[in-house]
Structure 1
Amino acid sequence: MTTDVRTSLSKVAQVPPVTLATLGVSLLALPGYAWASTVLGLNAPPLVTVAVQWTVAVGVVAVAVGVEGRSLASVGFRRARRGDALALAGAAAAAMLVFAATDPLVAALGLPVRGDSGTLSTGVGLSVALVRAVTTGVVEEVLFRGYPIERLVEYAESPLLAGVVTWGAFTAAHAVAWPLGNLVQISAVAAVFTVIYLRRRSLVPVVGAHVAVWALSVLGRVYG
């Protein structure tokens, strides 16, 4: 096992500079933006943050297609296949089950939490909150699942390494804005989405599930 990991890491070292730089942008740009906003005390309007998220995601896809010379499939944009709908429903149900099942544990441990949709729906109307939910679901799956997993699997030839690295990056990225209680739950859900992506190698089920979870959270907060 150790030899396999070393071999995979040595292959990662051979990643072309443009791909390595794009991996860095994909995994670090949004956490960096969130960190800078917190440190500098910036309070950007919600739609400005939405624009930043889409700009980063579109930029990564543009580099993949225009500079690396790859297809959209190399970023995870593959045509829906039989079984994707079931995978989407299963991923969404599993994510909501994780949140429900871990709530008592988080409370028992006294871990700090805040409302799961607070950052999307607080202080904004329903339409803006839903735009943010869709944006979060699409952009995060492109940046933390689609592009990095595809490149790491290609160069490291290890789905396990790709999954662990991207899961860790996704969890660490959310540590910038979420307290520990929420982070435990987000980490568990990220593991579910990572497994689903590695099995399907398509953004369809994970984007659909991610958007569904956030949209239901927003609707529950607004109407509940």
Structure 2
Amino acid sequence: MPAQNDPTTVAPPYVDATGERDAFERPTVVGLVVALLGIPALSFAARTLSVGLHPVAEIALLWSLLGVVLGVVFVWEDRPLRSLGVRRPDRIDAAYLLAATVLGFLALAATGPLVEMLGLAQSGQTGMGVEEYGVGIAVAAAVTTGVVEEVLYRGYAIERLAERSESALVAGGLSWAAFTVAHAVSWQLGDLLQVALAALVFTLVYVRRRSLFAVVGAHVLIWLLGVLGAVYG
């Protein structure tokens, strides 16, 4: 079996109970469609219909998307949580969490001057709506965003795409591109540049470790920093 911390790891194809390869059948196609297109589809529908969703509704919709994908994994694919990159973390994973948090935050902060120099539009909202809806909802939104996006785009998408491409790097690149395009539906260009760089950090860390622990933790912590900045800034 390839080393789990090797960035060039080739994911083994999924083999069902009969011993036959089943790497990219209908359940996985459905799961990938929901994982990669579910969030931008919801954003596009809201913009098209001019519907302003309350953050609580957005949180519920995101958890619903995750629930659908988990249903595909457990019921239709008949696979365990470890097929999503869920495993017990160790000390190295904690170090990767810290590194991903720092590098992800720097990717957001360091590109700020570049975005301003290029005159790229930004939404200017970094506190998850804390000013309008309060700290509790903002924290819930930060946790929801970090967990749901990482499970869908890193855990599920990379693992399933790696089975077909036989390359975790290729799978990571495809997932990163899909993640960036997904945010292009509702984010300004300046925000998109920053989120793309932060997502690149998360993608590389996941490909390296093949564990959700570091990337989920880093994603949540970075959003929480935004909430704290909105509260105390």
Alignment TM-score, normalising by the size of structure 2: 0.87
Q: 2:107 aligns with which of 98, 103, 109?
A: 98
Deviates more, 1:121-130 or 1:202-211: 121-130
Query: What corresponds to 1:15 in structure 2?
Result: 24
Which whole-Å deviations, capped at 9, do the CAs of 1:173-202 have from their partners, x for residues lacking one?
111111001101111111100000001111
As a proportion of its length, which structure holds more helix?
1
Aligned residue type for 1:73: R
The 5 Å alignment of 1:10-159 reads 15-159=24-168
Task: Give the drift of 1:81.
Answer: 2.0
The 5 Å alignment of 1:1-12 reads none
Query: What corresponds to 2:222 in structure 1?
Result: 213
Let me know the Cα RMSD of the aligned residues: 1.2
Identity %: 47
2:132 aligns to what SS in structure 1?
coil
Task: Give the drift of 1:79.
Answer: 1.1
Number of residue pairs matched by the alignment: 211
8 Å CA contact 2:145, 2:220 repeated in 1: yes
Gaps of 5+ in 2: 1-22
Which whole-Å deviations, capped at 9, do the CAs of 1:20-60 have from their partners, x for residues lacking one?
11100110011100110011011122111101100111220
Distance in 2 separating the partners of 1:44 and 1:19? 30
Q: 2:179 aligns with which of 162, 170, 176?
A: 170
Gaps of 5+ in 1: 1-13
Aligned residue type for 1:215: L
Task: Give the drift of 1:205.
Answer: 0.2
Task: Give the drift of 1:96.
Answer: 1.1
2:179 aligns to what SS in structure 1?
helix
Distance in 2 separating the partners of 1:33 and 1:25? 11
Task: Give the drift of 1:82.
Answer: 2.6
Shift in alpha-carbon separation, 1:205–1:120, aligned structure 2, 3 A: farther
